[in-house]
Amino acid sequence: MVETLLAADLIDRLLTMIWPFLRVGALLMVAPVLSIDAVTVRIRLAFGFVLTAFVYPFYDWPAIDPTTAAGLLEAFNQVSIGILMGLILQVVVAAIVVGGQTISAAMGLSMASLIDPAVGNVPTIASLLLMVSSLIFLALGGHILLLELLLTSFDYFPIGRGLLSQDAFGHFVAWSSMMFTGGVLLALPIMVILLAVNIGLGVVVRAAPQLNIFAIGLPATILVGMLVFYILMGTMANRMTWLWMQGFEQVRMILGMN
């Protein structure tokens, strides 16, 4: 009899634990830094189970049968909330990649690429910016802020008491434009300076047609680009910090925390 009661209680707890685990696991699958290939799916699932175990005692979880239509709808809702929170921050990562690709193209380094564990094959400048942005994310305590937002989301979006609205998805679509806006903000100073260099090279070649534009222009563009990139690295780090903070602010807005 005791064993039967223990088995029934264990099953009830597993049926209630599955709902926060879906939200936590979905977020960990797409969250920045944690979603790279170096962090395997098993590690993310194990980390998600540990987080769920910590969260579980602090809330009253509804007992929803996952095999019913309501259970399937709730599962889709929890996965959508977790994925949406992670994708909002992934827009910041995409903006940094776009900025790095633009800088590499302007400097003539677009052919030099690396296999980045986070986004795949990207130019070297973009890979460098991604490493810097990941360090900034950790230095800001972004992983702690993300976990705080995840825990707070259970207060604003309790399980079984409402679905994620269409306005949240529309807000995410509007926020995704930051992918290009943020990339331009990162690359614009270097692009303007390299444009002036290219104009100057054009004037020089026009005045002396015997000069080889490829022999002079490419080394000069790379040299000036690397020098400007080194000088403006602090400013670019500040802009990446601003992008991360805007990303967290957008998560709060979608969850209705503002």
pLDDT digits over 142-180, tens only?
888 888 888 888 888 888 776 777 777 888 888 888 888
Residue 96 has pLDDT above 50, yes or no: yes
Distance CA 253, CA 5 (A): 44
Distance CA 129, CA 97 (A): 8
Distance CA 165, CA 235 (A): 37
Report residue 236's pLDDT band, with 50, 70 and 90 as the boundaries: confident
Q: Which residue has the tokens 């564990």?
A: 117
What would the mean pLDDT of 79-95 be, rounded to a whole number? Answer: 88
- Residue 86: CB atoms within 10 A of its CB come to 21
Q: Which residues, other chains included, contact 35 with Cβ-Cβ below 8 Å and sequence gap of 6+?
A: 28, 29, 44, 86, 90, 118
Note the pTM of the prediction, 2 decimals.
0.81
Q: Residues 96, 186: contact at Cβ < 8 Å?
A: yes
pLDDT at 53 (0 to 100): 83
What would the mean pLDDT of 242-248 be, rounded to a whole number? Answer: 90
What would the mean pLDDT of 111-126 be, rounded to a whole number? Answer: 63
Task: Extract the tokens encoding 140.
Answer: 């800001």
Mean pLDDT is lowest, of 63-72, 108-117, 201-210, 225-234, for: 108-117
pLDDT at 1 (0 to 100): 45
